[in-house]
Chain A
């Protein structure tokens, strides 16, 4: 089966700034595909180009086999967008909002009513459908926001950070809705988030995006496997090539390397530089076993430890491993 979405070297420049810099990926029919990256990484800009909100500077993309620029109306009939903002009319009821968004996709009469009832059921808001949205909780508004993107039954749904500012109960409700749409209705979904837990829970494959580029893309299992048994970051008063080499050869350690010279984190505060230390990153096959062995070697050589971070094998660690930054920085 051909992919529902094929993105090829998409670029978006705003004056001097390149927001998206040559992004390429595909999404299969029925897949939940995650775009994971920190704020400002280029996720929303990528989605905006794919949904016709922004015109790409260069590159191409096809949805359902149709070019997003040349066949934009056909493409737009196939897709649904749930934007990061609450793109709803607050003084209207949920039903009135959904009726409107359904109508602009050509739905009317009985069909429109059935679709609206259906999506209200999906987001569990049937009993509050006629209430004005401005009186809803933040989570309920988010759910209507999702429903508005579903009412015309798109083949490909773009969910752009749909859980921002949502209470845990509504967040779970949103997760259930997404999974239900994917499993029961085979809807293809692109889910952007900077919450790795959400992406891990919902997505089959993930593209990690940073500074407008995809820096890794695979199944979550494969991405996490990049870290082996986890990552250990140790700040040391002293570290030379010989020590790094010895660390890399320890049992349960896959690799070790010197990352940077750190100044004990005082640089940012403008205080006097503290004693310089060196940051060593150790990729472990088994983090628990590796740490015992590393501590043993450091004790043996009498090297003081200034800091210690043990990164569990997850997407957050993968991102940190790949970029040196945290997802929510």
Chain B
């Protein structure tokens, strides 16, 4: 009960400062816009090796190099205004994607031409990096789909005409069969069929860079979980400053003389910030889901399990507020709180993938090890698992467990080291 009384009081005090409250929500949104914009811009500006050729290089794995239809497909791609093809073998293309040397590649399957000639549907695969620029991928999809439809339609029309030719050859009295309306009907039928069941389907696949899990989030929207984690952990400084303020004005002394246990007192300082942080997370994700798409910076959801997203959010907020208690116990002045907060939150935020994508950090072995030692890393992983890899509660339990361990350690250190006197 006393925890709730402390919480109500703190919320009243915090919410009185409307300017500060506004910044709690505005600052993350501003950061989000900047980072999402930068990420999208970066993802869209692929390298261009050939001077004078403004088209983007497009890696293509042609597993049907001798086939006539694959040749035709390659020519059509090269003739598009957006891309010029660069041939890779499949293994090199896969490695390059993992290392983010390329953002996407196209696979023309083996037997592409032979199957088409026999009227057997084939799949062209577009493999995109999890953080590839969405707009560039959309452009590629449109171009490939357009070429595939053209080829499909042409082949299906030709097939229809070929069938009619065969029918004519087999029935010398079938002149009526070739009346104009019959030909038009046959062509329309083939056209409709090519739309409904195209001979060439285009699949997009987004492999996880860490493993084989499907990962679907574009670079702009991928900054949302990172920003959420960054700002949620910045709330740790708020907890520490809140406690410092209580000490500074002398009310901590009065609270210590009241019938409150020390745990109640510290939990009562954590809960209001925890609640505010949850609202902050909701605002950041709502902005990401509703506003970023309007700005063309990506789309975002909460994955297939809103419960997993909510649990991850609550655990991340708990970890942050516990960290605040630890900072309050270690810092002896306002300056120390700021210094410690900056070190623990910005540096750890960077290592944990809140500022830069984790796959970049994971490419540097030392940083990769360090990143696992900061809670932000588990927090961003939990969010990406839920949002991008569409995992559920059970699948993110390891991340939630690690965040709980961090929370317990922070709180334990906090309550042991806190200067109640």
Contacts and interface: CB of A to CB of B under 8 A. Distances in A.
A151 to B, nearest CB: 11
Interface of B is mostly: helix
Interface of A is mostly: loop
Contact of B250 (A55, A87, A92): A87
B256 A104 contact: no
Interface stretch (B11-19, B45-53, B65-73, B225-233): B11-19
Size category of the binding interface on chain A: 20 to 34
B258 A76 contact: yes
Given A54-B421, A89-B9, A104-B2, A76 B259 contact: yes
Contacts of A81: 253-254, 257
Interface in A180-197: none
Contact of B16 (A53, A77, A92, A106): A92
Contact of B253 (A79, A83, A90, A103): A83
A169 B250 CA distance: 24
Given A84-B250, A86-B249, A88-B249, A51 B13 contact: no
B421 A55 contact: yes
A83 to B, nearest CB: 5
B12 A92 contact: yes
Given A100-B5, A103-B5, A104-B2, A89 B253 contact: no
B110 interface: no
A91 interface: yes
B255 interface: yes
A89 B261 CA distance: 21
B254 A101 contact: yes
A25 interface: no
Contacts of B249: 85-90
Interface in A54-74: 54-55, 73
Interface centre among B9, B13, B256, B257 (most CB of A within 10 A): B257
Nearest to A154: B257
Contacts of A83: 250, 253-254
A104 B5 contact: yes
Contacts of B251: 87-89
A96 interface: yes
Contacts of B253: 48, 53, 81, 83, 85, 87
A237 to B, nearest CB: 51
Contact of A100 (B9, B256, B257, B421): B9
B260 interface: yes
Given A85-B249, A86-B250, A87-B249, A73 B421 contact: no
Interface string B254-288: 11111111000000000000000000000000000
Contacts of B1: 106
B257 A52 contact: yes
A81 B259 CA distance: 12
Interface in A34-55: 48, 51-55
Contact of A89 (B5, B13, B259, B420): B13
B16 A51 contact: no
B2 A92 contact: no
Interface in A70-128: 73, 76-77, 79, 81, 83-92, 96, 100-101, 103-106
Interface residues of B, number: 24
B195 to A, nearest CB: 66
Interface string B410-421: 000000000011
Contacts of A48: 253, 421
Contacts of A51: 256-257
B6 A53 contact: no
Nearest to A74: B259
Contact of A91 (B17, B259, B261): B17
A51 B254 CA distance: 9
A85 B255 CA distance: 13
A327 B249 CA distance: 26
Contacts of B421: 48, 53-55
Interface string A273-304: 00000000000000000000000000000000
Contacts of B17: 91
Contacts of A85: 249-250, 253
Interface centre among B12, B13, B17, B254 (most CB of A within 10 A): B254
Contacts of A79: 257
A77 B259 contact: yes
Nearest to B252: A87
A27 to B, nearest CB: 17
A315 interface: no
Contact of B259 (A55, A105, A148): A105
B12 to A, nearest CB: 6
Contacts of A91: 13, 16-17
Contacts of A87: 249-251, 253-254
Given A54-B421, A87-B249, A104-B5, A73 B259 contact: yes
Contact of B258 (A54, A90, A105, A158): A105
A71 to B, nearest CB: 11
Contact of A104 (B250, B255, B420): B255
Contacts of B16: 91-92
A294 B286 CA distance: 90
Nearest to B261: A73
B419 to A, nearest CB: 11
A8 B9 CA distance: 37
A142 to B, nearest CB: 12
Contacts of B12: 92, 96
Contacts of A86: 249-250
A83 B17 CA distance: 26
27 contacts: A48-B253, A52-B256, A53-B256, A53-B420, A53-B421, A54-B421, A81-B253, A83-B250, A83-B254, A85-B250, A87-B250, A87-B251, A88-B249, A88-B251, A89-B13, A89-B251, A91-B16, A92-B9, A100-B5, A100-B8, A101-B254, A103-B5, A104-B2, A104-B255, A105-B258, A105-B259, A149-B254
Given A85-B253, A86-B249, A92-B16, 7 more contacts: A53-B421, A87-B250, A87-B253, A100-B8, A103-B2, A104-B5, A104-B258
